[in-house]
Amino acid sequence: MPVATWFVHHRLWAMGMGVVVIVVLVAAGFWYLVLRSPGTQVGLRQALRLYRQGQSGADSGGTRLPPSGVYRYRTTGDELLSVGGIHRSFPGTTEMIVTDATCSTMTWEPLVQHVEGLVTCPAGGEALTMPTARSDETIAGTRTDEVISCPPTTYFLPPHPSAGMGWGATCHSGPQPVRLAGQVIGPSTVTVGGHPLAAVHTRITFTFSGPETGTNPTDYWLVPGDGLVLRERETVDLVQQAGPLGRVRYTESMTITLESTTPAS
């Protein structure tokens, strides 16, 4: 049978196969570009630009807050969703942007699609409070912009921290209550740039219940007095609504260690 005659008799089948091929190609592209969730690293140059945009110029100039600027950290870790093998690793080095005035804003921005930050404020003695924590993440085509607001007396670092000291607060993410539990693990030492530095090891755990459920414990190794993060270890295990994917489990694990106490600015 001539090819032209065959096509006339089988044109619907051929057109159907063409549609199938197009659908498969679109699906593959959607998987690669959206569900696979590649991340765009925020390098030092971009972090410095963000710092200069965010720093008002009213630097506190004192010792109660970390010196403002961009700090670089050695980094390990990744994040993933429980459907389709959606997974994304963090770069080997990442930046934390610190701006300050009355309070300090510390923003860890490893990827354009993943930003975490918190605000710390000086309190009595060497204490620091934490009125706000925030995360802004885009993965698998779904964006989560979450702001956790805590009472203004909620500690990030309590006064005269000693091993075993604990504290708690009820915070909110929108209308959803979020329970905060803090604990001082004890004194520690972190090596930064080849030099051992004294640190206070603390742990802050957020517990979510409601539309979003799970826990987010984070260990911090902090400079006593100003709260500069020398090391941070975070684990996240949450079940949440992820747009068209429905309810999925999101997990994250990361560790960052400071490379130098002198920030770029």
Residue spans per domain, the chain: 1-35, 40-258
Residue with tokens 């090819």: 3
pLDDT digit string (tens) for 245-257?
A: 678 899 999 999 9
Compute the distance between CA of residue 204 and CA of residue 156 in angstroms, rounded to an integer. Answer: 8
Q: pTM here?
A: 0.83
| Amino acid in position 214 | G
Compute the distance between CA of residue 41 and CA of residue 45 in angstroms, rounded to an integer. Answer: 11
Token pair for 8: 């006339």
- The DSSP call for residue 264 is B
Contact 138, 113 (CB under 8 A): yes
Which parts of the chain sit beneath pLDDT 70? 1-38, 56-63, 242-245
